[in-house]
């Protein structure tokens, strides 16, 4: 039996050096032990014979170093031997750590998890008390961790409480921060912590008030905040009385009849009712008399089921007397969120084509045949759905109102949905594309593809071809209505 | 009326805030005070600094700026028609309390909400004043979650977003109809528009470089929302449908389900009973299945009674019992999607199975070290030395896997 002496309970470097030498000497994991500080090794154990410097001769996965570093903080005296056993086995089984069901791996992982959990709980359950000292205010906490975790956790407190001076006292080791430097000192005792802190009364008030007596779940609480931590948490003194009074508190809430509202409430109601009476009432039967009225009325539209899952109605935008009106299919994801038409990816294609044709979008009216976004949710995304004939028909009234108020010289229908809505009959784009079509109610129409069609083309050549055709259509629009040209 | 002490105000305004379930302090950017020499850090995962006897995590100082409110939402303890005690913090008091609690390591930061006084803008203005002071004057780098007032002007919401980790708006109830009935002053459209606005702002800032001078990000912890369960008549299917819509539309980090719980001086329009905690629990499980386990809502609710989830077993087990033809699943061969559907396997167990089986054939003994409860898993899997045989088809299987009655009555 061989042994390696380590300088402290968390002497990872000492273990690493010892383990390297043992490995170089081929020491079997069953024949080695690690002792900490002055504690005696087993009766017949001998120190490792000196071995040549073997640093860097063995390779291990990075994941093993990470695991071993956490593992050595465990309080189990066998932790160092376990780490050595894993190291030893890794030489023959380099993928060992991936075998989560292996006994050694499972044990090491469970121990590492216990250390991580204890560290996490220390970050959570440390309670500082502030005292005045000659050097100013100092925050002092007493905590009893289960494992050797002070050095693992102290840097967290440095990062968090950089601007304070503090001490973490624990039975085996203490950590002190003065705003500049972190130092470790000997362990402490519970008597060394401050007696109290002025804020504790407020903290207890908060703890008692945030508790909902209708939801008593002591088991869930203890699972997350085990009893072993309670003795150093001031609020824990409230747990028993709060739990005992919970049932009565809940019953009282249920049994006490509601009181009459206060005078203050009555006055508020009156004001609210008066404001409501003065506000314009939406009347679905009233025919809007202006574009603004139509826009306002459309916000409340429930003529088809699309309103419910969507965020809002996306009405058209542009000058009241714009000479050209662009009509798309329906708003998409971005348009639905912002409440504006053609601002998403298809809007960018559209804008680029307008710019290439020298058209000023601000002088045109841009809208959609359907004013609500139709989609199905898929996880974190929404998948666009084509509107049905019924939905297009339900929304047609709004488009007709926009057309009658704006009275554009030219309506540009982009995509099949817009084309059939504008022309009032089902058409294929191919059959009517790029022609100036006289409309019965006056003005003309031009049909082209929807800009999102260009986005969907996977083949770059086809895409370039279609983009050019779309831009040619925009050029035709500009030719037909020259007043929408960008100012030179 | 004599002036209330800080302690009295704290008692009233934390009691008034406790019906908001969210207490998360995770998912924001990592930052600390090493350079600023200030106070505060966020390190990715949140920390629960204490647990109340209701089993809920106390991570943040969760308070209302005031519980005076001009709105009269039937389900809310602070509705204007209720005669609960009222109080109001000053901006200064909230800042002082937050710093004092934080310095003692009681909390991760602040969760600030408010009743609506005077106007939504006035209220939001005060809340923004709190967070601005914490960040700019107190050099506070801890976590801040602000409950935005949905009708407040976009300018105020945008300013708030620069200082806080999370901004959120509560959807309150599962359907627009229920909101109109129980919260007459709230407009469901406005709530959804606010969420849409928040998503656009958050995404707009996501591309920014991290090392830009403060304020670099807009609500980097994202947005969440809360839905009250059991106050209106909506069934679980309607609730999950709403969640599915909210996750898809507004990239929410979380939808919190809050079982409607008796409140002091409650409105007689609402059920005054024990909160439906098991129902709340099942909804969270279903929510998890949709987000992390590849389940569709329709799969979860299919075959349910009147659109309600089975309270006696978890929704994954319920699905497996309905779809026994999909089992047993061979742990040595099945793909990840199917492993995730095995009752008793969590996402972590599945990762470990996939990792391990690249190097060795899994026996039942191996599986027992990789998951929580072999008992639950066993009927649904095939391993190197195990096949469930008739166990899977036995009519008693559902009864055997059902938790014991006394466990059920616990809440």
* pLDDT, tens only, B58-80: 999 999 999 999 999 999 999 99
The reported pLDDT for the residue numbered B208 is: 56
Mutate to test the interface with A, among B52, B116, B150, B173 (most CBs of A within 10 A): B52
- Are the C-beta atoms of B140 and B38 separated by less than 8 Å? yes
Asked whether residue B394 is domain-assigned, the answer is yes
A219 touches chain B (CB under 8 A): yes
Looking only at the bridges linking them, the beta strands covering A129-133 and A32-36 are: unpaired
Q: Does the distance separating the beta carbons of B268 and A265 come in below 8 Å? A: no
The reported pLDDT for the residue numbered B406 is: 46
Kindly state the average pLDDT of the residues B149-172. 93
DSSP string, B82-134: ------B--HHHHHHHHHHHHHTTS-SEEEEE----S-HHHHHHHHHHHHHHH
A35 to chain B nearest CA, in Å?
A: 30
Name the domain count of chain B: 2
Give the total residue count for chain A: 488
User: Could you tell me the two tokens for B205?
Assistant: 């800032």
Q: Does the distance separating the beta carbons of A209 and B11 come in below 8 Å? A: yes
The reported pLDDT for the residue numbered A53 is: 65
User: What are the two backbone dihedrals, phi and then psi, of residue A369, each rounded to the nearest 5 degrees?
Assistant: -70, -35
Kindly state the average pLDDT of the residues A40-51. 78
Q: What is the pLDDT of residues A137-148, one digit of tens each?
A: 999 999 999 999
B398 to chain A nearest CA, in Å?
A: 26
Spell out which residues of chain A touch residue B248, defining contact as CB-CB under 8 Å: 375, 377-382
Spell out which residues of chain B touch residue A209, defining contact as CB-CB under 8 Å: 10-12, 14-15, 18
Kindly state the average pLDDT of the residues A41-59. 74
Complex ipTM more than 0.90, yes or no: yes
The minimal CB distance from B14 to the residues A95, A210, A379 is found for A210
The minimal CB distance from B358 to the residues A98, A299, A309 is found for A98
- Domain identity same for B51 and B191: yes
Q: What is the pLDDT of residues B72-123, one digit of tens each?
A: 999 999 999 999 999 999 999 999 999 999 999 999 999 999 999 988 999 9
Long-range CB contacts (< 8 A, 24+ apart) of A420-428? A420/A392, A421/A327, A421/A369, A421/A392, A421/A395, A421/A396, A422/A327, A422/A369, A422/A447, A423/A447
Our CA angle for A322, A327, A332, nearest 5°, is 125
Residue A55 has pLDDT above 90, yes or no: no
Our CA angle for B229, B232, B237, nearest 5°, is 65
Please tell me which residue, B2 or B385, carries the higher pLDDT value. B385
Q: What is the pLDDT of residues B284-328, one digit of tens each?
A: 999 999 999 999 999 999 888 899 999 999 999 999 999 999 999
The minimal CB distance from B360 to the residues A99, A265, A299 is found for A99
B370 to chain A nearest CA, in Å?
A: 6
Q: Nearest Cα to B16, choosing from B65, B69, B67?
A: B67
The reported pLDDT for the residue numbered A282 is: 67
Distances (CA, A) of B263 to A75, A152, A268, B75, B129: 47, 44, 22, 8, 30
Cα separation of B173 and B170, whole Å? 9
* pTM greater than the 0.90 cutoff: yes
The reported pLDDT for the residue numbered A487 is: 83
User: Could you tell me the two tokens for A385?
Assistant: 């759905």
Q: What's the half-sphere exposure (Cβ side, CA atoms, 13 Å) at B64?
A: 28
Residues spanned by the domain of B22: 6-221
Kindly state the average pLDDT of the residues A230-257. 90
Non-local (6+) Cβ contacts of B322 within 8 A are B302, B303
DSSP state of B215: S
Residue A340 has pLDDT above 80, yes or no: yes
Kindly state the average pLDDT of the residues B270-278. 86
Kindly state the average pLDDT of the residues A165-178. 96
Non-local (6+) Cβ contacts of A444 within 8 A are A409, A410, A411, A436, A437, A438, A480
Spell out which residues of chain A touch residue B259, defining contact as CB-CB under 8 Å: 215
Q: Which of A36-45, B96-105, B181-190 has the lowest mean pLDDT?
A: A36-45
The minimal CB distance from B247 to the residues A235, A259, A380 is found for A380
B115 touches chain A (CB under 8 A): no
Residues 335-374 of A with CB under 8 A from B: 336-339
Spell out which residues of chain A touch residue B98, defining contact as CB-CB under 8 Å: none
The reported pLDDT for the residue numbered B21 is: 85
Domain boundary among B194, B221, B248: B221
Residues 26-85 of A with CB under 8 A from B: none
Query: Which strand (E) or helix (H) includes residue A166?
Result: strand A166-169
The reported pLDDT for the residue numbered B409 is: 41
Q: What is the pLDDT of residues A329-338, one digit of tens each?
A: 999 999 999 9
Find where tokens 């007043």 sit.
A483
Average pLDDT over chain A, rounded to whole?
93
Percent residues over pLDDT 70 in chain B: 95
Residue B411 has pLDDT above 60, yes or no: no
The reported pLDDT for the residue numbered B127 is: 97
Q: What's the half-sphere exposure (Cβ side, CA atoms, 13 Å) at A168?
A: 27
B257 touches chain A (CB under 8 A): no
Asked whether residue B235 is domain-assigned, the answer is no
Residue A280 has pLDDT above 80, yes or no: no
Mutate to test the interface with A, among B1, B6, B36, B50 (most CBs of A within 10 A): B50
Asked whether residue B53 is domain-assigned, the answer is yes
Kindly state the average pLDDT of the residues A13-22. 92
Q: Does the distance separating the beta carbons of A210 and B15 come in below 8 Å? A: yes
**Alpha-carbon dihedral sign for residues A405, A410, A415, A416:** positive
Non-local (6+) Cβ contacts of A71 within 8 A are A79, A82, A83, A108, A111, A112, A115
Q: Does the distance separating the beta carbons of B43 and A101 come in below 8 Å? A: no
Helix, coil or strand: residue A233: coil
User: What are the two backbone dihedrals, phi and then psi, of residue B52, each rounded to the nearest 5 degrees?
Assistant: -85, 165
Find where tokens 């010289």 sit.
A409
Residue A208 has pLDDT above 80, yes or no: yes
Q: Tell me the pLDDT band of A265, cut-offs 50, 70 and 90.
A: confident
Name the residue ranges covered by the structural domains of chain A: 2-120, 126-192, 200-252, 291-484
Which of B141-174 are b and which e, b meaning 16 or more Cβ less than 10 Å from the residue's Cβ?
bbbbbbbbbbbbeeebbebbbbbbbbbbbbbbbb
Our CA angle for A204, A206, A211, nearest 5°, is 100
Q: Nearest residue on chain B to A378, judged by CA atoms?
A: B248
Domain boundary among B221, B241, B274: B221
Look at the domain A291-484 and name its fold. Uracil-DNA Glycosylase, subunit E (3.40.470)
Residue A130 has pLDDT above 60, yes or no: yes
User: Could you tell me the two tokens for A250?
Assistant: 């809940």
The reported pLDDT for the residue numbered A423 is: 93
Q: Does the distance separating the beta carbons of B356 and A101 come in below 8 Å? A: yes
The reported pLDDT for the residue numbered B176 is: 92
Find where tokens 């009234």 sit.
A397
Q: Does the distance separating the beta carbons of A197 and B104 come in below 8 Å? A: yes
The reported pLDDT for the residue numbered B213 is: 44
Kindly state the average pLDDT of the residues B27-42. 92
The minimal CB distance from B7 to the residues A205, A260, A309 is found for A205
Please tell me which residue, B392 or B378, carries the higher pLDDT value. B378
Q: Does the distance separating the beta carbons of B262 and A254 come in below 8 Å? A: yes
Looking only at the bridges linking them, the beta strands covering A136-142 and A129-133 are: antiparallel
The reported pLDDT for the residue numbered A56 is: 63
């Amino acid at each position: 039996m061989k042994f390696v002496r380590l300088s402290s309970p968390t002497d990872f470097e000492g273990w690493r050096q010892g383990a390297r030498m043992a490995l170089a000497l081929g020491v079997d994991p069953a024949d080695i032990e690690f002792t900490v500080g002055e504690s005696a090794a087993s009766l017949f154990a001998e120190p490792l014979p000196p071995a040549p410097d073997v640093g860097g001769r063995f390779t291990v996965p990075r994941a093993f170093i990470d695991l071993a570093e956490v593992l050595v903080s465990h309080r189990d005296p066998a932790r160092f031997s376990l780490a050595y056993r894993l190291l030893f086995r890794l030489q023959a089984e380099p993928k060992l750590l991936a075998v989560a069901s292996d006994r050694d791996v499972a044990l090491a992982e469970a121990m590492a998890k216990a250390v991580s959990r204890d560290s996490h709980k220390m970050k959570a359950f440390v309670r500082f008390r502030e005292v005045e000292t000659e050097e100013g205010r100092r925050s002092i906490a007493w905590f009893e961790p289960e494992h050797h975790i002070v050095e693992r956790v102290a840097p967290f407190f440095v990062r968090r409480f950089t601007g304070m001076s503090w001490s973490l006292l624990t039975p085996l080791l203490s950590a002190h921060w003065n705003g500049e430097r972190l130092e470790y000192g000997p362990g402490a005792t519970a008597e060394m912590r401050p007696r109290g802190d002025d804020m504790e009364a407020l903290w207890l008030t908060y703890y008692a008030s945030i508790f909902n007596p209708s939801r008593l779940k002591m088991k869930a609480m203890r699972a997350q905040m085990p009893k072993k931590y309670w003795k150093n948490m001031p609020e824990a003194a409230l747990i028993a009385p709060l739990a005992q009074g919970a049932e009565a508190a809940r019953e009282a809430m249920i049994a006490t009849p509601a009181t009459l509202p206060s005078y203050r409430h009555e006055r508020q109601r009156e004001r609210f009712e008066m404001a409501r009476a003065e506000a314009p009432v939406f009347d679905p039967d009233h025919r809007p008399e202006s574009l603004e009225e139509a826009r306002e009325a459309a916000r409340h539209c429930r003529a088809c089921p699309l309103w419910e899952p969507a965020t809002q109605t996306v009405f058209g935008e542009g000058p009241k007397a714009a000479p050209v009106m662009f009509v798309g299919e329906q708003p998409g994801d971005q348009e639905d969120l912002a409440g504006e038409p053609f601002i998403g990816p298809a809007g960018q294609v559209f804008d680029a084509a307008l710019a290439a044709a020298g058209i000023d979008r601000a002088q045109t009216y841009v809208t959609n045949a359907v004013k609500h976004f139709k989609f199905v949710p898929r996880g974190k995304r929404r998948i666009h759905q084509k509107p049905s004939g019924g939905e297009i028909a339900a929304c047609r009234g709004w488009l007709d109102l926009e057309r009658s108020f704006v009275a554009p010289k030219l309506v540009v229908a982009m995509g099949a949905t817009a084309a059939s809505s504008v022309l009032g009959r089902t058409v294929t784009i191919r059959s009517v594309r790029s022609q100036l079509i006289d409309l019965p109610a006056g003005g003309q129409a031009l049909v082209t593809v929807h800009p999102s069609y260009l986005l969907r083309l996977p083949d770059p050549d086809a895409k370039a071809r279609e983009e050019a055709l779309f831009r040619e259509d925009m050029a035709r629009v500009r030719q037909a209505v020259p007043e929408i040209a960008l100012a030179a | 009326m004599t002036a209330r002490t800080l302690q009295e105000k704290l008692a009233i305004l934390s009691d008034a805030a406790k019906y908001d379930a969210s207490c998360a302090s995770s998912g924001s950017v990592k930052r600390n005070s090493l350079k600023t020499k200030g106070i505060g850090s966020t390190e990715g995962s949140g920390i629960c600094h204490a647990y109340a006897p209701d089993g809920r995590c106390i991570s943040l100082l969760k308070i209302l700026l005031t519980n005076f409110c001009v709105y009269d939402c039937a389900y809310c303890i602070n509705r204007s028609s209720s005669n609960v005690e009222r109080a109001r913090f000053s901006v200064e008091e909230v800042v002082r309390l937050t710093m004092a609690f934080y310095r003692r390591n009681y909390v991760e930061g602040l969760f600030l909400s408010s009743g609506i006084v005077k106007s939504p803008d006035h209220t939001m203005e005060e809340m923004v004043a709190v967070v601005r002071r914490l960040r700019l004057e107190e050099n506070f780098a801890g976590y801040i979650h602000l409950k935005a007032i949905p009708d407040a002007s976009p300018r105020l919401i945008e300013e708030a977003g620069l200082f806080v980790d999370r901004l959120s708006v509560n959807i309150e109830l599962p359907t627009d109809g229920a909101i109109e009935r129980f919260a007459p002053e709230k407009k469901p459209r406005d709530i959804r528009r606010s969420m849409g606005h928040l998503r656009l702002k958050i995404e707009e800032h996501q591309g920014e470089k991290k090392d830009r001078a403060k304020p670099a990000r807009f609500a980097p912890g994202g947005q969440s929302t809360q839905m009250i369960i059991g106050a209106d008549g909506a069934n679980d299917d309607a609730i999950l449908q709403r969640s599915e819509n909210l996750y898809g539309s507004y990239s929410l980090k979380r939808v919190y389900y809050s079982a409607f719980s008796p409140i002091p001086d409650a409105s007689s329009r609402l059920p005054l009973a024990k909160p439906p905690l098991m129902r709340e629990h099942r909804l969270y499980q279903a929510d998890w299945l949709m987000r992390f386990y590849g389940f569709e809502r329709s799969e979860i609710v299919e075959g349910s009674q009147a659109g309600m989830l089975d309270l006696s077993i978890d929704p994954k087990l319920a699905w497996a019992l309905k779809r026994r033809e999909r089992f047993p699943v061979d742990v040595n061969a099945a793909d990840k999607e199917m492993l995730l559907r095995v009752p008793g396997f969590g996402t972590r167990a599945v990762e470990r199975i996939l990792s391990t089986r690249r190097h060795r054939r899994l026996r039942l003994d191996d599986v027992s070290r990789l998951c929580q409860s072999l008992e639950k898993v066993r009927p649904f899997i095939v391993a190197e030395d195990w096949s469930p045989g008739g166990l899977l088809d036995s009519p008693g299987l559902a009864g055997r896997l059902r938790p014991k009655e006394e466990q059920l009555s616990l809440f």
